[in-house]
Structure 1
Amino acid sequence: MQAIAKEKGPGIQESIGKYRWTICGLVFFATTINYLDRAVISLLKNTFTTKLGWDDGDYANVEIAFKIAYAIGLLLAGRVIDKMGTKIGYAVATFLWSAAAVAHAAVNTVFGFGVARAFLGVFEAGNFPAAIKTVAEWFPKKERALATGIFNSGANVGAIAAPIAVPLIEAKLGWEWAFIITGALGFFWLILWFMYYEIPKKQKRLSKPEFEYIHSDRDEAPALEQVKPSVSWAKLLTYRQTWAFAIGKLLTDPIWWFYLFWLPDFLGSEYGLKGTAVSLPVAVVYTMSTIGSVFGGWLPMKFINSGWPTYRARKTSMLIYAFFVIPIIFAQLAGSVDMWFAVIIIGIAASAHQAWSANIFTTVSDMFPKHTTGSVTGIGGMFGAVGGILLSAAVQKNLFVHYRSIGKIEIAYYIMFAVCGGAYLLAWLIMHFLVPRERRVEI
């Protein structure tokens, strides 16, 4: 990105610099690895069915084990990262989840995979609290949604890379190596992290104009961030802003989990695609999601630069994205004409989710002081994971195991797509009711 110019006075400008985007790139890379590691198992579902004797219930149980651990991990990770600091907290989380990913290669039972997935879930939970805290530390408010959209698009890149790489690795080396090779990428990231990351006030590569630009929000001047009292979960849960974020995540995070874990199965059961045949349609869905993630961060910044208040820009953007999800209700019906109609509709919905996600994450740093963003992000992330658990246990497991189809019609996916279509509007309405106007929390 080109360096931005900052007004110093009439006719005088100073180059700000762009080192903050290097930091954004590091977080993007970490998020890509994070999602690549968790997506591997969805591409091996058929392999485990044929070679290890799994059924849909076994797969759902392993998925639930990951989500339960992820929910617990999110609650703890945000708190730990607020205390340890971004640099060390992010590094520890990445090292441990990478080790857990590699460890999948050493197990071959449902119970063993459940344990491995649980460890992966606990430690992968550190990514988003650390990433959001990094963005809050390195970007002014007007750029945070864009930075979040860029790093969050790493989730899509990971999901694109998985269906391309995993079947090839499995075919050439065996399914165990799919976990080993993808898991090892996290150790390479750690080298880059320690080479290039430091908080702004300690980063020698950061220019003074860029430091001042990062801290240009009046309510977030550096002096206001020097005193960092510990804030309990109980205290944070007394704020309506926390509940708005948490309920928004509770209702919408499970939809992304559904795409991630069940899209290959949908393509296989509905259209007979197996192995590398799913790579292209899955890649199309997540490529569209990448565009949506970046656009989702750009649109509110455009509104803010046009003079809109930050909160109004954020909420208006999120409402627009919520409407773009609704057509997924008709994805399976359209797909009965041609598979690519379903793929494009799902891609639009997934793209809208990532746009929504870029903004809902940013509401935390809009509403809370920087030293609490990890904890609040962790609370909201935990609610999102709990939503995923409930959807898997109460809906998906029963649907896909007991009521998957009526005759030749995959009724389970009709129901799930209807749930996806309405979740975002409901979440937006509840968030609007809880926090109708911009109100920053003072702790």
Structure 2
Amino acid sequence: MQPLLTSTDVRIPVGRYRWRICALLFFATTINYLDRQVLGLLAPQLQEALGWSELDYGRIVTAFQAAYALGFLGMGTLMDRLGTRLGYAVAVGIWSLAAMAHALARNALGFSFARFALGLGEAGNFPAALKTVAEWFPKRERALAVGIFNAGANVGAIVAPLTVPYIALTWGWPWAFLLTGALGLLWLGFWWQSYRPPADHPRLTSPELAYIRQDPPDPAVRVSWRQLAGERRAWAFALAKFLTDPVWWFYLYWLPKFLFETHGLTLDQIGWPLVVIYVVSDLGSIAGGWFSSFLLHRGWSVNAARKLTLLLCALAVLPIGLVARTDDLWTAVALISLATAAHQAWSANLFTLTTDLFPRPAVGSVVGMGGMAGAIGGMGVATAAGWILETTGSYFWLFGAASLAYLIGLALIQLCVPTVPPQPRPLPFNP
């Protein structure tokens, strides 16, 4: 009898409900990045109104990064234990209320407390989203699914400069935090109504469930931090995140200030350059996920497909080192756009690498470990950026370091994981 489907050839309609789940992940990530970018857009106005120094701003950003690191320490494990439905809801609820709480702050200390709470909640987004992708998509579609939901980061960054300046100039800056934070609470209603695990979902057809489960089943494992600390695979992900996540944080929090200080843009002028940058970034996220999936469909090994894509991304970032040397606004925008698109393509494949290297029950914890490493790196960069700009007033060294981070990260991945196996290998023991 002809089987219903195989892992290499599917000829019958299998349904597309999994892409609705992916859409929910996309919108959550959009809101996540919208909420965190409000501060960066309003930073010049808030610095003038509230009297912050560059060091004060660096400390406020560091407060978010510190909480993000602590949040990742627990959020990955929380998602593995509570499951994505409840765990994701808790995370989004925390960060939405924290985003709205910024409206109550009136000094650097108040903003630091609000940013800390925001970081704790937002740390849950990627562990929950990556675990959901691992549950709802076969290996052949995961990079594309990650690329799509990860594109929400750029959509949030696009929506923010188109809406936040208008809200702040029309009703005042507190309303920018209140209205953007409320979107997460709206998303929660859709998530709670729509999401169930695949095996329990009443709207998932049997063919689509079989399609989702086409890969060999993962072994049942319990994951501890002691296990991950001894895993070279986990360190490959964590070290790459430690080097490259801070670059993205730098873009989010300092690009509006860079354009304001270097090219003289004001709050009502800064929107379109940032829109261009993050639209291109969006395309990079989807293209990066598509490209490695395309190579897999063409018969490339998982190792070759992922690492070639990561190498191309690392090379595309190199020209960002020149951006502080150009006086032309749109040349700067072009260089930044290329770098941010390459970062998002890199990020989509780096996240997908966790599902290539680890069984599904461990993905949330591994992503949490990597996110914590990236946030720790971001703390250092936020503090260093504040100090460098306070003492030199130049962005040259910051963009120069950003240009090299990805090649170094890829070298560390290759050192820790010379070959990505065709299927995730189990952890060596269950404590």
Q: Deviation per CA, 1:143-199: give whole Å up to 9, x if none.
A: 111111110010001111111111111111111100000000001101110121111
1:271 touches 1:339 (CA, 8 Å); kept in 2?
A: yes
Tell me how far 1:8 sits from its aligned partner: 6.6
What is the 5 A alignment of 1:80-95?
A: 80-95=78-93
Q: Does 1:285 align with 2:268?
A: no
Q: SS of the counterpart of 2:188?
A: helix
Q: 1:360 aligns with which of 350, 362, 366?
A: 350
Distance 1:350 1:8 in 2: 38
Q: Does 1:169 align with 2:167?
A: yes
Tell me how far 1:7 sits from its aligned partner: 5.0
| Residue of structure 2 equivalent to 1:127 | 125
Q: Specify every segment of 5 or more residues in structure 2 that has no aligned partner in the other structure, as ranges.
A: none
1:107 touches 1:113 (CA, 8 Å); kept in 2?
A: yes
Tell me how far 1:306 sits from its aligned partner: 0.3
* Matched positions, count: 421
| Residue of structure 2 equivalent to 1:203 | 201
Distance 2:100 2:157 in 1: 18
1:164 touches 1:276 (CA, 8 Å); kept in 2?
A: no
Distance 1:80 1:362 in 2: 20
1:31 touches 1:154 (CA, 8 Å); kept in 2?
A: yes
Tell me how far 1:347 sits from its aligned partner: 0.2
| Residue of structure 2 equivalent to 1:193 | 191
Q: Deviation per CA, 1:36-88: give whole Å up to 9, x if none.
A: 00000111112212221112111111000000010110111001111000000
Q: 2:47 aligns with which of 44, 49, 74?
A: 49
| Residue of structure 1 equivalent to 2:34 | 36
Distance 2:124 2:88 in 1: 7
| Residue of structure 2 equivalent to 1:76 | 74
Q: Deviation per CA, 1:226-283: give whole Å up to 9, x if none.
A: x4x4311011111100000000000000000010000001101111101020100011
Q: SS of the counterpart of 1:15?
A: coil
What is the 5 A alignment of 1:23-422?
A: 23-218=21-216, 221=217, 224=218, 227=220, 229-333=221-325, 335-336=326-327, 338-393=328-383, 395-404=384-393, 412-422=394-404
Tell me how far 1:141 sits from its aligned partner: 1.0
More deviation, 229-238/56-65: 229-238
Tell me how far 1:311 sits from its aligned partner: 2.1
Distance 1:191 1:12 in 2: 34
Tell me: CA distance 1:118–1:8, structure 2 relative to 1, closer, same or farther (3 Å).
closer
| Residue of structure 2 equivalent to 1:22 | 20
Identity %: 47
Distance 2:144 2:75 in 1: 24
Distance 1:309 1:158 in 2: 33
Q: Specify every segment of 5 or more residues in structure 1 that has no aligned partner in the other structure, as ranges.
A: 1-5, 405-411
1:74 touches 1:379 (CA, 8 Å); kept in 2?
A: yes
Q: Deviation per CA, 1:419-439: give whole Å up to 9, x if none.
A: 111110010011001100124
2:147 touches 2:286 (CA, 8 Å); kept in 1?
A: yes
Letter matched to residue 222 of structure 2: S
Q: SS of the counterpart of 2:321?
A: helix
Q: Does 1:434 align with 2:424?
A: no
Distance 2:296 2:262 in 1: 43
More deviation, 285-294/51-60: 51-60
Q: SS of the counterpart of 2:418?
A: coil
Q: Deviation per CA, 1:272-304: give whole Å up to 9, x if none.
A: 101020100011000000000000100001100
Q: SS of the counterpart of 1:14?
A: coil
Distance 1:185 1:81 in 2: 22
TM-score, length of structure 1 as denominator length:
0.93
Distance 1:266 1:156 in 2: 18
Letter matched to residue 426 of structure 2: E
Distance 1:85 1:215 in 2: 18
Distance 1:31 1:12 in 2: 30
Letter matched to residue 415 of structure 2: F
Tell me: CA distance 1:208–1:276, structure 2 relative to 1, closer, same or farther (3 Å).
same
1:68 touches 1:389 (CA, 8 Å); kept in 2?
A: yes
TM-score, length of structure 2 as denominator length:
0.95
Letter matched to residue 315 of structure 2: F
Q: SS of the counterpart of 2:222?
A: coil
Distance 2:213 2:390 in 1: 53
Q: SS of the counterpart of 1:13?
A: coil
1:142 touches 1:310 (CA, 8 Å); kept in 2?
A: no
2:88 touches 2:128 (CA, 8 Å); kept in 1?
A: yes
Q: Deviation per CA, 1:319-361: give whole Å up to 9, x if none.
A: 111100011111232x32x210110110000000000000000
Distance 1:12 1:199 in 2: 23
Distance 2:11 2:53 in 1: 64
1:163 touches 1:276 (CA, 8 Å); kept in 2?
A: no
Q: For the aligned residues, what is the CA RMSD? A: 1.4
Distance 1:46 1:268 in 2: 8
Distance 1:391 1:109 in 2: 22
Letter matched to residue 239 of structure 2: I
Distance 2:124 2:62 in 1: 18
Distance 2:19 2:48 in 1: 45
Tell me how far 1:441 sits from its aligned partner: 3.0
Letter matched to residue 405 of structure 2: A
